[in-house]
Structure 1
């Protein structure tokens, strides 16, 4: 008669895929906090803006530029007669624009009416 031996397969505990030290957990927590704060700053909107000279705060409204709109056209809609040029300058200062070129979807601060 022959003897049959049976060996059970080895069962090993699965290794964790990611293991962080205390320092690693702190770094991940601080990075997550910084991402949340940066996102909040980007999405935050202000209803008061100042020009680059740091003058008096000006009440503003936010508008989204539509396709085909120009800075002159936007300024003409909100300015009194004959003050369009000054309104263009004001809008450029409020939004820190280097030129009068606008992109569709761009958000602008304009003086509140």
Structure 2
């Protein structure tokens, strides 16, 4: 994926994550927007909302870091081994920081 397309997708992801985070934090304007767009959903379960907020915040951090890698000219390279991240992986996850092998190693350590 070329960096221009990646940057656009990442910025779109960032905007969506920011909106979701505002909703999960209870921002009244964002909640109204969310309610209008997703009328069937309900965020009354505080534990679920907190878990989703944690995930969304981590995802946001990954997206910001991917944009920084674009700015630094290293986007598409694994942050661990330096090898290229496969094109298909970047298509599926524009925020991917690691090649498949390094990501698998990281997940096994957790």
Larger Rg over CA atoms: 1
TM range (shorter): under 0.3
State TM-score, norm by structure 2.
0.27
State TM-score, norm by structure 1.
0.26
Which structure is higher in strand share? 1
